[in-house]
Amino acid sequence: MTPRLYISAALKAGAAAPLSQAQAHYLKNVLRRSEGDALLLFNGRDGEFACDIVELKKKAGLVAVKVQTRKHETGPDLTLCFAPVKRGPLEMIIQKAAEIGVTKFLPVITERTTAPKINCERLEAIAIEATEQCGRLDVPTVAAPVKIARMLDDWPTERRLAFCDEAGDDEGAEWGGREGRAAPALETLKTADSKADKWAVLTGPEGGFSPSERKCIRAKAFVTPITLGPRILRADTAAIAALVLWQAALGDWRRS
């Protein structure tokens, strides 16, 4: 399989492009590639190009850009708002969500968030690795953490927010409505506003959202409460499940 890497530099047929020290090391010492071998490069804006490795040195590399293999394209405008969790599950969320098609990651600090400190650069690197692997041409971004109250106050109202409301299954509550039980995700999203082309999914921490947070979230007109089924899901599982359901109902999986 031809290696596929992301670079930030411009890409143009007939030009040269640089490789970082880490990329040169990876190609030479991990994949055992050498000068003359084929490579695919993309930068998140110019499309994907077939290249030939010109040199792999200890501190850098160089490739010759040959022809464009795919024009640039983007997926659905989908943001994942999530409460940070421990490192292992957190990195799993970033990796799998990037593969599923998330375009932006927004860490949200809630009352019950247990791991508020995150390394955004590390998460960005994981997102890039996932895009290299899955064939995406656009690259997800990772925003700085924000408290949930600030997120809701600053929210762009044209973007719908699917709220994974695990506390919305209280016994005795009515289905639907802003104060009742959240309806099943797939069913709800399939009947959501088809004119909305900007969406986000909100998932909580392992302990769930507090009652006051839940009330505040559900009071917002741009929020669509959903439930992910009868079982209690871990935070990382909930994020992945919600994204899959959104893609199946409203995303580009329907056109695959």
pLDDT given at position 169: 44
Residue 65's CB is within 10 A of a number of other CB atoms, namely 21
Percent of the chain at pLDDT > 90 equals 79
- Give the pair of three-digit tokens for residue 189: 């999203």
Say if residues 35 and 53 touch (Cβ distance below 8 Å): yes
pLDDT given at position 232: 87
- Which of 47, 70, 93 terminates a domain? The answer is 70
Counted domains in the chain:
2
pLDDT given at position 181: 60
pLDDT band at 178 (very low <50, low <70, confident <90, very high): very low
Residues 170 and 228 in one domain: yes
Model confidence at 115: pLDDT above 70: yes
- Give the pair of three-digit tokens for residue 183: 């309806």
Model confidence at 180: pLDDT above 70: no
pLDDT given at position 192: 79
Distance of CA 20 to the CA centre of its chain: 24
pLDDT band at 11 (very low <50, low <70, confident <90, very high): very high
Compute the mean pLDDT over every residue in the chain, rounded to the nearest whole number. Answer: 91
Average pLDDT over residues 185-203: 86
Say if residues 14 and 50 touch (Cβ distance below 8 Å): no
H/E stretch holding 152 reads helix 148-153
pLDDT given at position 173: 40
Please give the C-alpha separations between residue 235 and each of 55, 86, 129, 253, in angstroms, as whole numbers. 44, 10, 22, 23
Residue 117's CB is within 10 A of a number of other CB atoms, namely 8
Percent of the chain at pLDDT > 70 equals 92
Rounded Cα distance between 103 and 76, Å, is 8
Say if residues 39 and 53 touch (Cβ distance below 8 Å): yes
Say if residues 222 and 160 touch (Cβ distance below 8 Å): yes
Please give the C-alpha separations between residue 227 and each of 132, 168, 222, in angstroms, as whole numbers. 32, 7, 17
Average pLDDT over residues 128-148: 96
Rounded Cα distance between 155 and 149, Å, is 10
Average pLDDT over residues 9-27: 96
pLDDT band at 116 (very low <50, low <70, confident <90, very high): confident
Residues 63 and 98 in one domain: no
Rounded Cα distance between 98 and 249, Å, is 18
Domain that holds residue 180: 77-255
Model confidence at 172: pLDDT above 60: no
Q: What is the CATH number of the domain that holds 150?
A: 3.40.1280.10
SS3 of residue 129 by DSSP: helix
Model confidence at 244: pLDDT above 70: yes
Q: What is the CATH number of the domain that holds 64?
A: 2.40.240.20
Prediction pTM value: 0.90
Residues 114 and 167 in one domain: yes
Residues 158 and 231 in one domain: yes
- Give the pair of three-digit tokens for residue 48: 């994907």
